[in-house]
Structure 1
Amino acid sequence: MKKLLLLLLTTLTINLSFGQKTESILALNSGLFSFQGYSAEKTSQINLASNGTTGYTNNPFGAKNGLSYGVSYQIQRISRGNFIVGIGVGYENLRSKTTITGVNGYDKTGTFQDAASGQTYLSNNQLNAFPYVGYRVGIRQVSVDLTGGLDVGYLLSSKESGKATGINGTTYTTSLDRTGIKTDIRPRGQISVFYRRVGAYTSYSYGLSNYKSGWVGGRNECNSSVIRFGVLYKIKGK
């Protein structure tokens, strides 16, 4: 994987030096983020650490999509034959979601279980690099960029935030640091459409890194899945 990333970056450097046209692009994006794999779940429960209403989610790695957001800057080179090589860098908050169906806790009579409804989000704050190659199809003032490459995400933090209400009206919450792996590598495909300087894009990437790597007990397999959509503006280039 490191060799492939190095090859993409080397190709980018060569094309930036000898290519035909350079474009600088600002991107604002939203998206849907979730976890896939054996250990990702759509529902879970809150476990209370002690007497009280705060605790932790039994499995915060939600298989449901959470709304995410980010901003990035990219620079790309368009060759004479309409081939593209570029790189994007930016910040993202990728959030997964799991539905809370119950609470396990303690009271004066001992342990108890409470049916509850709510959700837990796992927010993954990261810096992201996206080296890519592709091809441009142009029709007058409209152009379509078909690109593919690798997301290289450096995780700054992963934080669980949950809230659920029991059948008796009690509110239960969670707030816990879940930072584990530091790097997530995701193959990514993207389609961008431009009209003059303004454009829009959608992309999909699937992570190769296991977010539950190093966990003990059971089968621990949990990978990221990201659907992005956003708007683009060419700061330089037409």
Structure 2
Amino acid sequence: MKKAFLLLLTALTTSLSFGQKTESILALNANLFSFQGYSAEKSSQINLSTDGSTGYTNNPFGGQNGVSYGASYQIQRISRRNFIAGISVGYENLRSKTTLNAVNGYNTQTGTYQDAASGQTYLSSNQLNAFPYVGYRIGLQQVSVDLTAGLDVGYLLSSKEIGKATGANGKTYSTSIDRTGLKTDVRPRGQITVFYKRVGAYTSYAYGLSNYKSGWVGGRNECNSSVIRFGVLYKIKGK
């Protein structure tokens, strides 16, 4: 992966050196984020402490898409032959979702118990993201289509589990746990962008190569990120 990243940066630098047109672009995006792999689950339970005052989600790495958002700035060069090289940098909040169906606790009189419940837990991660890419532009007069691919490199600033469920007895349970662990996530990414003059829209998909449960003890720990993005763009430089 390190070799592939260096090759991408080399191609990017070479293309930028001989590019003929520069475009500066601002972008806003909405994300559908989830975890994939053996350890990602679409449902889980809240485990309460012995005194019932605190709790945590048994598996917060949700296999369901959570809606999140981001903003970025990108600069790219277009060569005479319509080849593209660029880089996008920005901030994103990524949230996965898991459904809560039970609460596990302990009672000094009856021992362990399980209470049926309904709710959800979101694993919310804040990250800085860089996306170096190369691609090709198909121009149709005032409309252009950019086909690009590269590597998302996400640096995680923080990650927090936020859960809430209502038990069959009407009682509300909640969790708020720091889950910051993995710091860097590398994701191959493909993207399609359509521009009309200065305004554009894009969709992309990226799948993470980093295992969020690396180093966890017990069982089979495989958990990777999956990001679907939908965004709007505006060229502040270039036409």
Report the TM-score, using the length of structure 2 for normalisation.
0.97
- Mapping of residues 165-176 of structure 1, within 5 Å: 165-176=166-177
- Partner of 2:3, secondary structure, is helix
Over the matched positions of the two proteins, sequence identity in percent amounts to 83
Paired residues, number: 238
Deviation at 1:15, TM superposition (A): 2.1
Measured against aligned partners, the alpha-carbon deviations of 1:97-155 in whole angstroms (never above 9, x if no partner) come to: 00000000123423221000000000111111101110000111000000001001111
- Partner of 2:206, secondary structure, is strand
Deviation at 1:8, TM superposition (A): 1.8
Give me the CA root mean square deviation. 1.0
Q: Is the 8 A contact 1:73 1:90 kept in 2?
A: yes
Equivalent-residue separation in structure 1 for 2:70 and 2:56 (angstroms)? 27
Report the TM-score, using the length of structure 1 for normalisation.
0.98
Matched, 1:50 2:50: yes
Q: Which residue of 2 aligns with 1:154?
A: 155
Equivalent-residue separation in structure 1 for 2:173 and 2:80 (angstroms)? 60
Measured against aligned partners, the alpha-carbon deviations of 1:200-224 in whole angstroms (never above 9, x if no partner) come to: 0000010111000000000000000
Deviation at 1:53, TM superposition (A): 4.9
Q: Which residue of 1 aligns with 2:119?
A: 118
Equivalent-residue separation in structure 2 for 1:66 and 1:33 (angstroms)? 5
Q: Is the 8 A contact 1:5 1:131 kept in 2?
A: no
Matched, 1:129 2:97: no
Q: Which residue of 2 aligns with 1:76?
A: 76
Gaps of 5+ in 2: none
Corresponding letter in the other structure for 1:146? L
Gaps of 5+ in 1: none
Q: Is the 8 A contact 1:198 1:233 kept in 2?
A: yes
Corresponding letter in the other structure for 1:29? N
Which stretch of the first structure deviates more once superposed, 33-42 or 106-115?
106-115
Equivalent-residue separation in structure 2 for 1:189 and 1:32 (angstroms)? 15
- Partner of 1:181, secondary structure, is coil
